[in-house]
Amino acid sequence: MMRSDPGTILYPAHGNLYLNITNRCTCSCKFCIKNFTDGVYGYNLILSREPEVDEVIDKLRRCDLSKYNEVVFTGLGEPLTRLDDVLIITRWLKAHGLHVRIDTIGHALLQYPNRDVAYELKKAGINAISISLNAHDKKTYDWLVQPGKYTNAYDSMQEFARDIVKQDMELTFTILTLPQVDIEKCRNKADEIGAAFRIRGYGGPDLQE
């Protein structure tokens, strides 16, 4: 049965324009808002289908992009699941003078073991990457993020982060204020890798051990 609401692809918030181009993901985070609701800021982010690249660019073309600080690939899914499409859309955005960021879980080296993803993102013009560090150690990470077949996701995510720094893109690690997460250890990890560090408030239900 067709959903009557096809889902939101572009949505403004905080002076930025956010792109929600997929609901696919490489993990199943216990804190994911998909578990509790269908979107943010009143936008339904559950897509009835993934939009084609041309559809996304057409929607962007109809926006007054000059009012936004940056365009951010984020939403209810992992944007780099559509790496090639992200690269195409990014090139279009850069040709229109925009600052572009990707919010990612950071499993790109596992998704694309034969590609230099950081280099490709840099070459396309990505300015900044925000990676969900999520935890201070592998045990907590695996419990919280549930990366399934990616048994070395925690180490691989940090390797990808190092690649981002080497490519001279702005990198931020984010964590949520969860009782299971050691904030200071996470902050030290960000310092060690050369990432900025951002703590986001968690407002969902308690997560059971």
Contacts with ligand SF4 by CB under 6 A lie at 25, 27-29, 32, 34, 76-78, 105
Least distance in angstroms from the C-beta of 66 to ligand SF4: 29
What would the DSSP string read from start to end of 46-67? --SSPPPHHHHHHHHHTS-GGG
Comparison of 78 and 85: residue with beta carbon closer to ligand SF4: 78
Comparison of 73 and 118: residue with beta carbon closer to ligand SF4: 73
Asked if residue 164 lies in contact with residue 171, where contact means CB atoms within 8 angstroms, the answer is yes
Least distance in angstroms from the C-beta of 62 to ligand SF4: 26
Asked if residue 77 lies in contact with residue 22, where contact means CB atoms within 8 angstroms, the answer is yes
Comparison of 98 and 158: residue with beta carbon closer to ligand SF4: 158
Least distance in angstroms from the C-beta of 153 to ligand SF4: 11
Comparison of 27 and 190: residue with beta carbon closer to ligand SF4: 27
Helices (H), the chain: 53-61, 83-95, 108-111, 117-124, 138-145, 153-166, 183-193
Asked if residue 23 lies in contact with residue 77, where contact means CB atoms within 8 angstroms, the answer is yes
Least distance in angstroms from the C-beta of 176 to ligand SF4: 9
Least Cα distance to 183 among 130, 142, 152, 140 occurs for: 140
DSSP state of 34: G
Comparison of 98 and 103: residue with beta carbon closer to ligand SF4: 103
Least distance in angstroms from the C-beta of 34 to ligand SF4: 5
Comparison of 98 and 140: residue with beta carbon closer to ligand SF4: 140
- CB burial of 76-115 (b: ≥16 within 10 Å; e: otherwise) equals bbbbbbbbebbbbbbebbbeeebbbbbbbbbbbbbbeeee
Least distance in angstroms from the C-beta of 124 to ligand SF4: 21
The three-state secondary structure class of 161 is: helix
